[in-house]
Chain A
């Protein structure tokens, strides 16, 4: 069974630009969660989508947004990029029911110049 696929693996942007990251979940998984990982703050939850609806949201500004498509694939968008948005962005998928573990992709490393 294929794992969680994130594209692209690496991305370089400049301040003020916007970026879209993509995540393809494990087949049959309906929940997709996004996390940000930085050396200073560690792994932090951004948001979770289930059946095309945002079900949970972390404490991030509105510049961070996401969506999920009918095939469960998800995208996240960051607008007006800041230097502090440089991070590893991780996507995790799960069946979406109680207690089921989340399985992570290897992330997109975003660098802001």
Chain B
């Protein structure tokens, strides 16, 4: 079972920041937070991941609370092409390649 809780859906106006929350209150010290998104009829796309520090890349920013029990994915200027299902995934960091466990995600609709 997925170890994260996300709202089922959110709306965002085009050009505004989209803030997608994720709760992972049972996260362990050796688990990372990963974000993926899936646009209709495509495979999931990797966005960003982090352990405890905030992370930023060309796609988004990831803000993790100090207690690591929740995080927020920020898309700074949402466009219509950002409409997708966003998945927050907690994954253990080990020597292997632990499978991704997907929940139901958040369906983000960007509105013109």
Q: Which residues of A contact B (CB under 8 A)?
A: 4, 31, 33, 35, 42-45, 48, 50, 55-56, 58, 90, 92, 94, 96-107
Contact = CB atoms under 8 A, between A and B. Distances in A.
B44 A55 contact: no
The contact size tier of chain B is 20 to 34
Interface of B: 32, 34, 36, 41-46, 49, 87, 93-104
In terms of DSSP, what is the predominant structure of the interface of chain B?
Answer: loop
Given A99-B93, A101-B34, A106 B42 contact: yes
Contacts, number: 63
A97 B32 CA distance: 14
Contacts of B103: 42
A96 B104 contact: no
Contact of A45 (B42, B96, B99): B99
B102 A42 contact: yes
B107 to A, nearest CB: 13
Nearest to B39: A106
A43 B93 contact: no
Contacts of B49: 99, 101
